[in-house]
Structure 1
Amino acid sequence: MSTYLQLISLFGMLSLLSIGGGNAVLPEMHLRAVHGQHWLSDSQFADIFSISQTAPGPSILIVTMVGYAAGLHVAGIPTAILGGVIATVAMIVPAASLMYVVTLFWQKAQKSKWRIAVEKGFAPLTVGLILATSLVMSKAADHDWRAYILTAICTLIFVRSKINPLFIVGIAGLIGYFGIV
């Protein structure tokens, strides 16, 4: 039962902080799930992040997978499934409820200076959260200097060129598959 309460507490809090999407809170999710609760290792977290990003459906699928791992850490498959459901509900319900209430007032304050200031302030905040996520995920996934170099090269290509990202990801995957990295 304490694991379920920890999942509700963690994902309920992250739900309200996930400005810009669920990936914005990955550093805190990683810190709590890997180093705080030890539900996953660094490499397992990186693996489930990769799976959640490539699988069809919402990118927040990682929450379900962390909840599943937490339940599996405590007991068997039924507990793991319940952990995944609890984590998902805890991530969705608080933010959805808050957004419903805020939207009721937000529409009425279209010309308010306060609304304009909040909207302008959220853009840099979101960018910072996404950059923090990138740093945490590269640390969790990259294990030697070659992997860090590959990550840096791919990042530069993504930022500096208009090459289709799927092409770059495919090449990086092949490099990993053949054991170069």
Structure 2
Amino acid sequence: MKDDLLSQIFLRFAGISLLAVGGATAALPEAQRQIVTEAHWMSARKFAEAFAIAQVSPGPNVIVFSLFGWRLDGLAGLVVATLGILAPASLLAFAAARAMRRAGEAPWLALLKKALAPVAVGLMAANGYLLARGADSDRFTTIVTVVSASFVAMSPRSPLWAMAMSVAAAVVAGRFGLLPS
């Protein structure tokens, strides 16, 4: 049974890795669909919490997939998930780099690069929506999401300010009993 779960983690994450146009974060909508909706391995809330923990941890964004693996099956899940998310995409990137080097300035290559940029942005926008849907379970969390997103989108300041303001708001709201339990 455990080996079956590990092989499922590897196969699902290997498939997801091939969709990571724009980086690991861009593949999160598909990861959410597979982990939460199809396999029912964790709730949308737990998925969003794992993402949040990975985002505040130092290191690359792909660490979130290792954390998913850890939550699913401990150390073995972490190793299998990490290999699943990294190996196929790395091999594909290597092959693509060789092909691009051979193609040089081919018109089809310029068109492909131009077409992939909006795909990556669209996948990241879908990621934000899906994560917000999973994390926003009450009025307070919805307000924090909207204010934080607005601040980051409209301010030249670091996103760390949004994080600090959100934590301060949660502390104040908690002190006054305004947070749901």
Question: Structure 2 length as normaliser, TM-score?
Answer: 0.89
CA deviation after TM superposition for structure 1 residue 135, in Å: 0.3
What letter corresponds to residue 151 of structure 1 in structure 2?
T
After superposition, what is the alpha-carbon deviation per residue over 1:82-139, rounded to whole angstroms, capped at 9, x for unaligned? 1110110011010111111111120122211100000000110000000000001111
- Counterpart in 1 of 2:40? 38
3-state DSSP of counterpart to 1:34: helix
TM-score when normalising by structure 1: 0.89
Secondary structure of 2:18's aligned partner? helix
User: Counterpart of 2:11 in structure 1: which amino acid?
Assistant: S
* Unpaired runs of at least 5, structure 1: 72-79
The residue number in structure 2 matching 1:52 is 54
Q: Do the aligned partners of 1:30 and 1:45 also contact (CA within 8 Å) in 2?
A: yes
1-side partners of 2:166 and 2:151: how far apart?
Answer: 12
2:178 pairs with 1:176: no
Q: AA paired with 1:155?
A: A
The alignment status of 1:126 with 2:128, answered yes or no, reads: no
Q: Aligned-residue CA RMSD in angstroms?
A: 1.4
Q: After TM superposition, list the pairs within 5 Å mapping 1:44-123 onto structure 2.
A: 44-71=46-73, 80-123=74-117
- Aligned residue pairs total 173
**1:13: Cα distance to partner?**
0.5
In the alignment, what sits opposite 1:156? 150
Residue 27 of structure 1 contacts residue 136 of structure 1 at CA under 8 Å; is this kept in 2?
yes
Aligned amino acid, residue 45 of structure 1: F
Indicate if the aligned counterparts of 1:158 and 1:165 stay in contact, CA closer than 8 A. Answer: yes
> Counterparts of 1:177 and 1:51 in 2: how far apart (Å)?
18
Shift of 1:161: 2.0
Cα separation, 2, equivalents of 1:164 and 1:85: 33
SS in structure 2 opposite 1:17?
Answer: coil
> Which position in structure 1 is the counterpart of 2:10?
8
Give 1:171 deviation, angstroms: 0.3
Distance 1:105 1:25 in 2: 23
Deviation at 1:31, TM superposition (A): 2.0
- Unmatched 5+ residue regions in structure 2? none
Q: Distance in 2 between matches of 1:110 and 1:117?
A: 13
